[in-house]
Amino acid sequence: MTRQGTIPFFAPDLFEDDRDVLIDLVRRTGTDPGQKFILGERTAAFEDALRDTLGAAHVVACSSGTSALTLVLTAMGVGPDDEVIVPAYGCAPLGNTVANLGATPVFADVDPLTMVADPERVEEAVTSRTKALMPAHMFSVMADMPAMRQLADRHGLRLLEDSAVAQGGVLDGRPAGTWGDAGVFSFVQVKTFGMPGEGGAVVTDDPELARVVRALRNHGQEGQRFVHQRIGCNSRFDELLAAFQLHRLPGLPARLERRAQIADYYTERFTPLTDRGITPPPPGRNGRCHYVYSVLADERDALQAHLAAHGVDSHVYYPQPLPHQPAFARFAPPGQTWPHALAASRRQLALPINPRLTDAETEHIADTVCAFSTGLPAA
Residue-by-residue DSSP string for 42-84: HHHHHHHHHHHHHT-SEEEEES-HHHHHHHHHHHTT--TT-EE
Burial group, residue 199, by CB count within 10 angstroms (0-12, 13-18, 19+): buried
Among residues 182, 168, 177, the alpha carbon closest in space to that of 248 is found at 168
Average pLDDT over the chain reads 94
Looking at the structure, tell me whether residues 117 and 184 fall in a common domain.
Answer: yes
The answer as to whether 8 is a domain residue is: no
Q: Single out the residue in 250, 265, 287 at which a domain terminates.
A: 250
Looking at the structure, tell me whether residues 102 and 131 fall in a common domain.
Answer: yes
The answer as to whether 4 is a domain residue is: no
pLDDT of the residue at 241: 94
Looking at the structure, tell me whether residues 178 and 38 fall in a common domain.
Answer: yes
Q: Identify whether the C-beta of residue 233 lies closer than 8 Å to the C-beta of residue 216.
A: yes
Looking at the structure, tell me whether residues 266 and 287 fall in a common domain.
Answer: yes
- What's the whole-number mean pLDDT along residues 237-259? 95
The answer as to whether 163 is a domain residue is: yes
In sequence order, the 6+-apart residues with CB closer than 8 A to the CB of 52 are: none
- What's the whole-number mean pLDDT along residues 196-215? 96
Strand partners, 221: 228
The answer as to whether 219 is a domain residue is: yes
Confidence of residue 4 (pLDDT cuts 50, 70, 90): very low
Q: Single out the residue in 233, 250, 267 at which a domain terminates.
A: 250
The answer as to whether 6 is a domain residue is: no
Quick check: 226 pLDDT over 90?
no
Looking at the structure, tell me whether residues 256 and 292 fall in a common domain.
Answer: yes
pLDDT tens-digit map of 252-275: 999 999 999 999 999 999 999 999
Tell me the C-alpha distance between 95 and 102, whole Å: 11
Quick check: 377 pLDDT over 70?
no
pLDDT tens-digit map of 128-176: 999 999 999 999 999 999 999 999 999 999 999 999 999 999 999 999 9
Confidence of residue 2 (pLDDT cuts 50, 70, 90): very low
Looking at the structure, tell me whether residues 339 and 238 fall in a common domain.
Answer: no
The answer as to whether 9 is a domain residue is: no
Alpha helices (runs of H) in 249-377, residue ranges in sequence order: 252-270, 300-309, 339-347, 359-373
Looking at the structure, tell me whether residues 27 and 169 fall in a common domain.
Answer: yes
Tell me the C-alpha distance between 164 and 186, whole Å: 5
Least confident of 98-102, 161-165, 230-234: 230-234
Looking at the structure, tell me whether residues 23 and 108 fall in a common domain.
Answer: yes
197 or 347: which leads in pLDDT: 347
Looking at the structure, tell me whether residues 214 and 297 fall in a common domain.
Answer: no
Q: Single out the residue in 229, 250, 271 at which a domain terminates.
A: 250
Angle at 345 between CA 339 and CA 350, to 5 degrees: 140
Confidence of residue 33 (pLDDT cuts 50, 70, 90): confident
Quick check: 123 pLDDT over 60?
yes
pLDDT of the residue at 1: 35
The answer as to whether 282 is a domain residue is: yes
The answer as to whether 237 is a domain residue is: yes
DSSP label at residue 377? P
Residues belonging to the chain: 379
Looking at the structure, tell me whether residues 200 and 75 fall in a common domain.
Answer: yes
DSSP label at residue 295? E
- What's the whole-number mean pLDDT along residues 52-60? 96
pLDDT tens-digit map of 63-72: 999 999 999 9
Instruction: Give residue 126's domain range.
Output: 16-250
pLDDT of the residue at 378: 46
Strand partners, 186: 200
Confidence of residue 376 (pLDDT cuts 50, 70, 90): low
**For residue 250, what is the enclosing H or E element?**
none
Quick check: 97 pLDDT over 70?
yes
CATH of the domain at 266: 3.90.1150.10
The amino acid at 222: E
Q: Identify whether the C-beta of residue 113 lies closer than 8 Å to the C-beta of residue 282.
A: yes
Looking at the structure, tell me whether residues 84 and 182 fall in a common domain.
Answer: yes
Looking at the structure, tell me whether residues 67 and 207 fall in a common domain.
Answer: yes
Structural domain count, the chain: 2
Quick check: 314 pLDDT over 80?
yes
Tell me the C-alpha distance between 292 and 313, whole Å: 13
pTM: 0.94
CATH of the domain at 25: 3.40.640.10
